[in-house]
Amino acid sequence: MSVWVVAPAPFKGALPAAAAARAIGAGIRLADAGAEIRPVPVADGGEGTLDALVAAAGGRRRDVTAADPLGRPVTAAVGELPGQVAVVELALASGYERLADHERDPERTTTRGTGELIRAALDLGARRIIVGLGGSATTDGGLGLAAALGVRALDADGRVLEGRGADMSRVASLDLRGRDPRLDDAVVQVACDVANPFHGPDGAAHVYGPQKGATPDAVARLDAGLASLAGVIRAATGIDLQAVAGAGAAGGAAGGLLALIGAELTPGAPLVLDAVGLARHLEGATCCVTGEGRLDATSLAGKAPAAVAAACATAGVPCVALCGEVGLGPGAVRRAGFTAALAIGRGIRTRDEALAATEVDLASTAAAVAAIHGARAD
């Protein structure tokens, strides 16, 4: 009997990872009715991290009220896992999908809602909190989330600042005395898959600010604000965020979490793959199928499918990637550890048509892969 590990990441705009895994598994069974399917939806700290970890651990989603990037109350989720572990996904409260296009302005937005989700996780008794950072609408250096956890940012006149992007340049001092004491007894792990510094040409504002709605002038102001905030943080904590690779992730939220909340930054994909037990599922497997919306050079810089391929190489299991698009040549695909990478699209379609057909295309391509594997085995 063949054993297939099905470990896709989310197909952005089309399918969450769990639905993609179901489609792939159904396709494999079309060609191999007796196959054992081991679904292991994965993520890398961005979209789908909470769902992947909840599904893998048999946890549950807990809905809570938190602020969106403009401070409006919304319903978001915290993942509650066995063993006093919780999962927080920044995008669920502070993500760009919470905003209409005309509302996107990182000088006005805040990560306060993410801090409220972390506080809700502490209320649930969590002693370990995993924070995924992908999809942020913010560039506030983590001021907003820190404010929700009791850290006060003060201007030169001693007034408390809200913690929006435009506030960073106004921070004169930080008062850490009111920080939630429960954080001292909790481990906060930040799933971070980028190496951008806190500020500068490769920092949070310059690299990610424009896609969040920042004009060139706003990017310059935000970068100056991050540099100023880094100096205040260094004076208050002794931590030089500019020396920390990845501190610029999610508009500097990674740096704020590290310096003001006491979090540790860790590569997102390995963290998730370890949590879902991928290595255990690969034991005795015939083949592994992973995938995402587009496989390209950015996928090789810490994204989930590349991490799956690396785990498969260690386990000696062939790994096939099924993707909406493949932007890598055959040599790059093989060097990344994939046996093959296949685009699932069929014919000429619009983007919307391709997204709508993702589930069917995944199933049919997976069926073809399983049929070819079966023919080779015979």
Q: What is the pLDDT of residues 225-265, one digit of tens each?
A: 999 999 999 999 999 999 999 999 999 999 999 999 999 99
- At residue 218, the 3 state secondary structure works out as helix
Domains and CATH numbers, the chain: 3-40+282-377 (3.40.50.10350), 49-268 (3.90.1510.10)
Positive or negative, the CA dihedral 343, 345, 346, 347 is negative
Contact criterion met (CB below 8 Å) for 161 and 172: no
E-strand stretches of 206-357: 264-266, 287-295, 319-326, 340-343
255-279 pLDDT, tens digit per residue, is 999 999 999 999 989 989 998 999 9
Q: Encoding tokens for residue 99?
A: 């905003």
The per-residue pLDDT for 204 is 96
Helix (H, G, I), strand (E, B) or coil at 164: coil
Kindly report whether the global pTM for this prediction surpasses the value 0.75: yes
Instruction: For the chain, give the percent of residues with pLDDT over 90.
Output: 86
pLDDT in tens, 174-216: 999 999 999 999 999 999 878 899 999 999 999 999 999 999 9
Interval 69-87 mean pLDDT:
97
pLDDT over 80 (residue 376)? no
Rg (CA), the chain: 21
Asked if 32 contacts 314 with a C-beta cutoff of 8 angstroms, the reply is no
Which amino acid is located at 140 in the chain? Answer: D
Distance CA 259, CA 188 (A): 12
- Helix ranges (H only) for 257-378 are 268-276, 278-282, 304-315, 330-335, 351-356, 358-377
Rounded Cα gap, residues 80 and 348, in angstroms:
43
Q: Give Cα separations from 189 to 72, 186, 374 (angstroms).
A: 27, 10, 42
Structure confidence at residue 122 (pLDDT) = 98
**Tell me, what's the pLDDT at 359?**
96
What lies within 8 Å, CB to CB, of 244 at 6+ separation is 197, 198, 255, 258, 265
CA dihedral 300, 306, 311, 314 (to 10 degrees): -50
Q: Is 24 helix (H, G, I), strand (E, B) or coil?
A: helix
Confidence check: pLDDT of 378 > 70: no
Residue 377: pLDDT band with limits 50, 70, 90: low
Q: How many other CB atoms are found less than 10 A from the CB of residue 13? A: 13
Q: Which helix (H) or strand (E) holds 18?
A: helix 17-31
CA–CA distance from 102 to each of 95, 98, 212, 346 (Å)?
Answer: 15, 12, 11, 35
Name the token pair of 12: 């952005």
